Chain A
Amino acid sequence: MDPILLAVQTLNGLQLGVLLFLVAAGLTLVFGIMDFINLAHGVQYMIGAYFAATFTAVTGSFLLGAALALPAAVLVGVALERVVFRHFYGRDHLDQVLATFGVIFFLTELVRVIWGPTPLSFPVPAWASHSVTLFGGATYPAYRLFIIGGGLAVAAGLYALVARTRFGMLVRAGASNPRMLQALGTDIKRLFLLVFALGAMLAGFAGLMAGPILSVEPSMGDNLLILAFVVIVIGGLGSIQGAFLGALLVGLVDTLGRSFLTDAVKLVLPASAAVDVGPALSSMLIYVLMAAVLIVSPTGLLPAKGATR
């Protein structure tokens, strides 16, 4: 196996993992703390990308566009919480799935009406549009390194917030036993809103980081949402560390599987069959990983401490 290719693919896996973490972090908090299944989380990621693309086009600067897009994405998240989600907190999971599924349809169509069905143009900022030469002569896009760096910085900040602050303590307590937290006099509705806003911000941030490398289109969040659910199931519901570990695992397994599995299958099967079997196997790989994790540890790798669900 080519060591340079392996290194580049590991970077690619890391970059996908970081992006997944940003989406999954918000999802796991909302799910773990509020026991609320928010299928519309992928839409918030999409809206972050649309806002960033629009504001970047208007202001001419990626950083300025991002600075405007983040609060806008949070605002949409808060509005959704106020108008729709708040009424479904105590309800059955099926009700929540139906309601948030409806929100997906509504917002996806709304975005299509406003911005049109054509994918939006969102160029990579000029200061990161070059390729960096790595060890051994391999080149790697600078912007992807920027995503890895930015994502890791946010992960570190989030860890500090959850592990070291009073807000974080409440979040952890909420993930373990929300009823007890309420009985102790915490304004749980306010906490829910804050957690929700945080989740919306993280999803929006993921969207604006991903916008320049992916196609900004109304359905861009759908695929990512499924992966994000796999991540939080592997990592353990409600746990930020779990989401981080799960996201990196899924990112690496998916990327390395896509790049090396077909070649590996070619060692045991004829090439023509391997071309069919390889991609089929590699697209299953993360689900196999999830099943394996669930068999060994049904609550995920790093579940929230004392979680009752």
Chain B
Amino acid sequence: MKRTVLAAALMAGLALPAGAQDLRIGLMSTLTGPQAVTGQHLRDGFMLGVEHAGGKLGGLETKVTIVDDQLKPDVAVQEVEGLLKRDNVNIVAGVVYSNILMAVYKPVVESDAFLISANAGPAPVAGNRCSENFFNTSWQNDQTHGAVGKHVSDSGIKKVFLLAPNYQAGKDGLTGFKRHFKGEVVDEVYTKLGQLDFSAEIAKIQSAKPDAVYTFMPGGMGVNLVKQYAQAGLKDKIPLFSAFTVDETTLPATEDAGLGLFSASIWTPDLDNVANKRFVEDFRKKNGYVPSYFAAQAYDAARLIDAAVRQAGGVKDKAKLRAALRQAKFDSVRGAFAFNKNHFPVSDFYLVEAAKLPDGAPAMLKRKLVFEKYADDYAGECPMKW
């Protein structure tokens, strides 16, 4: 499951001129298994970023080696060893899932390469285990949950029912929600990871009669929950709020059942800025589907690398490249982009609703600002100074 993409017209036998640098990037994504659709978005977003730089990020011949972590930490570690030792990459980018990031984090940040996460943002690497060789172009995991929590609180909802899968990210998600939700939690239900039928939980919700439900059900679990929730006739009675559950990767499957549901995000396809318009238009033209935040964050990662390598004049001087990465002088598809001192972005968070784009394709669209320049809650624990 390894594919090498020679982004430039580098024909066989056409050697680089002496002294010229090239840029080697390892792109790690989840490309097989049940969650492969998220990894596909991430890969396609990153590759569009490379394409928009004419195949030369920062003006250097760029070689992107794509590896599949299969959502298995042990596989991910093997693949990343290959990227570091065999391919001698300068940067490892991508990584959809937090457990994968935690597995490859130490090997990469202790090597000569940089690690740039385009999605996963677990708490430890934002807090006391932050590293000067690690950057993140998405968010810290809790932030999206917190943004929904704040919105639910602000809209006067008093009693919520919480639902998440019984694993670390599920518990972290609900904790993040509760940090900014001020009302009462009537019940907190954890389901088996990978559970497909939610009829028992839905019956419990009906009987508990909350003002709203908040859930974090990534992937196929969310598709099932959203469909079954609508089928039970609850969608119009008890609003269902969620994070990482309803998005462009699941909307094609939930269709009408997902429309009208609210979540939070740093980015939407309808954000009004020049970089985003170009990204969404070209992405849809090239790949034939509407990009999600997975794709947008990966595109930003590629643009960040492009700007930083150009500014640092190559990849030879690691300190110079780090300084350039920290400045992040590129036109992000989310508008303004700036790193906090823990190398996580400080972003605006929006309330987003599943709706239809002018041409009828379902997507998450921006409704209002929930948090302006929201710094994550762990940055204070990061000892890094710059």
Binding site for B on A (CB under 8 A): 2, 4-5, 8-9, 12-13, 15-16, 109, 112, 116-121, 123-124, 129-131, 138-141, 143-144, 212-220, 223-224, 255-256, 258-259, 262, 275-276, 278-280, 283
Q: Known: A220-B196, A259-B200. Contact between A280 and B166, CB under 8 A?
A: yes
| A–B pairs, 20, beta carbons within 8 Å | A15-B199, A109-B32, A117-B40, A118-B249, A118-B252, A118-B253, A119-B37, A119-B220, A129-B231, A141-B231, A143-B231, A214-B196, A214-B224, A216-B253, A217-B34, A219-B34, A219-B220, A259-B203, A279-B166, A280-B166
Asked if B211 lies at the interface with its beta carbon under 8 angstroms from chain A, I say no
Chain B 201-213: CB-based contact to A (< 8 A → 1; otherwise 0): 1011011000000
| Chain A residues with CB below 8 A from B383, complex form | none
Whole-angstrom distance between the alpha carbons of A220 and B194 in the complex? Answer: 10
Within 8 A of A (CB), among B5-35: 32-34
16 further A-B pairs in the complex, CB-CB below 8 A; given A215-B224, A220-B196: A4-B207, A8-B203, A15-B199, A116-B37, A118-B37, A119-B252, A141-B231, A141-B233, A214-B224, A215-B253, A216-B253, A217-B253, A219-B33, A223-B196, A279-B166, A279-B191
Whole-angstrom distance between the alpha carbons of A9 and B197 in the complex? Answer: 12
- Give the bracket for the number of chain B residues in contact with chain A: 35 or more
Whole-angstrom distance between the alpha carbons of A123 and B194 in the complex? Answer: 21
Binding site for A on B (CB under 8 A): 32-34, 36-37, 40, 166, 188-192, 194, 196-197, 199-201, 203-204, 206-207, 220-221, 223-224, 227-228, 231-233, 249-250, 252-256
| Chain A residues with CB below 8 A from B191, complex form | 258, 279
| Chain B residues with CB below 8 A from A144, complex form | 199, 231
| Chain A residues with CB below 8 A from B255, complex form | 121, 123
Whole-angstrom distance between the alpha carbons of A283 and B196 in the complex? Answer: 13
Task: Choose one: A120, A130, A214, A256; the contact of B197 (CB below 8 Å).
Answer: A214
| Chain A residues with CB below 8 A from B36, complex form | 112, 117
Q: How near does chain A come to B21, taking the closest CB pair, in angstroms?
A: 36
Residue ID in chain B nearest A276 by CB atoms = B190
Contact B254 A9 (CB under 8 A): no
| Chain A residues with CB below 8 A from B188, complex form | 275
Q: How near does chain A come to B167, taking the closest CB pair, in angstroms?
A: 10
Residue ID in chain B nearest A124 by CB atoms = B231
Q: How near does chain B come to A146, taking the closest CB pair, in angstroms?
A: 11
| Chain B residues with CB below 8 A from A117, complex form | 36-37, 40
Whole-angstrom distance between the alpha carbons of A224 and B196 in the complex? Answer: 9
Q: How near does chain B come to A52, taking the closest CB pair, in angstroms?
A: 14
Whole-angstrom distance between the alpha carbons of A275 and B200 in the complex? Answer: 16
